Amino acid sequence: MSNLYLLNKLKGIQTIESVMDSLRISKNKAILQIHNLRKAGYVKTKRLSNNKRVYSISEDNKLKGAIYEEIINKYSPINVTIPKNYYVYRKKLTLEETLIYAIKTHNIRTILASLGLFKSISNWKLLYHLAKENHLERQVGALYDMARTIIRTRKMGGFFLKNSLPKKNYDFRYLIPKLKSKEFKDIEKKWRIYLPFNEKDLEDYK
């Protein structure tokens, strides 16, 4: 039986017994078919209080991926709630993608919370290409240097640094439009990016 046939036949809440009944197959074959659907991403399993397994079978289980905010919250002491959940379809999110997403929200709390990602970001070539694609190389560099003032980060790759530092004639840009502070001036000058944060804003990372 194809997965498409099984999905259409079993869509909804199922147990081993209901799968056996719907497909008119033995228990071992029912377990195998559920296994095949789970492998394809269509099954979520819940164990009830009586230890009985219940299977939610739906195409949404495959389509609905991780949410950026879940990843940010996993790595940050500052929890964020993004009003419009952004689901990523049929792929596994990376920390590098999540950082770029956070910067693009132009939301001060989301960006602040995303600093925690620098503790684990290691693929600087990927981050560079994502940043370049979105014209955010300097923003990433400035946030990284600011994060380093308060948390232990992975070392920035030389490739990123070499290709992202601005020239002296570059104009300053805002991380968040029209917002800047009186602190982190050395970092701002290095990357020619206005940062909207003060040292007090980073206290949650201590």
CA distance 114 to 105: 11
CA distance 150 to 165: 22
Provide the CATH number for the domain formed by 3-63 in this structure: 1.10.10.10
**Residue 116 pLDDT:** 95
**Residue 52 pLDDT:** 85
**Residue 27 pLDDT:** 94
Tens digit of pLDDT for each residue in 145-197?
A: 999 999 999 889 889 999 999 998 999 999 999 999 999 999 999 999 999 99
Percent of the chain with pLDDT over 90: 62
Tens digit of pLDDT for each residue in 67-95?
A: 788 889 989 999 887 555 555 555 678 99
Is pTM beyond 0.75? Reply is no
CA distances to 84, 86, 101, 107, 122 from 81, in Å: 9, 11, 14, 11, 25
The residues spanned by each domain of the chain are: 3-63, 68-205
**Residue 136 pLDDT:** 97
**Residue 87 pLDDT:** 58
- Can you give 80-104 as a three-state secondary structure string? CCCCCCCECCCCCCCHHHHHHHHHH
Name the token pair of 144: 């990284």
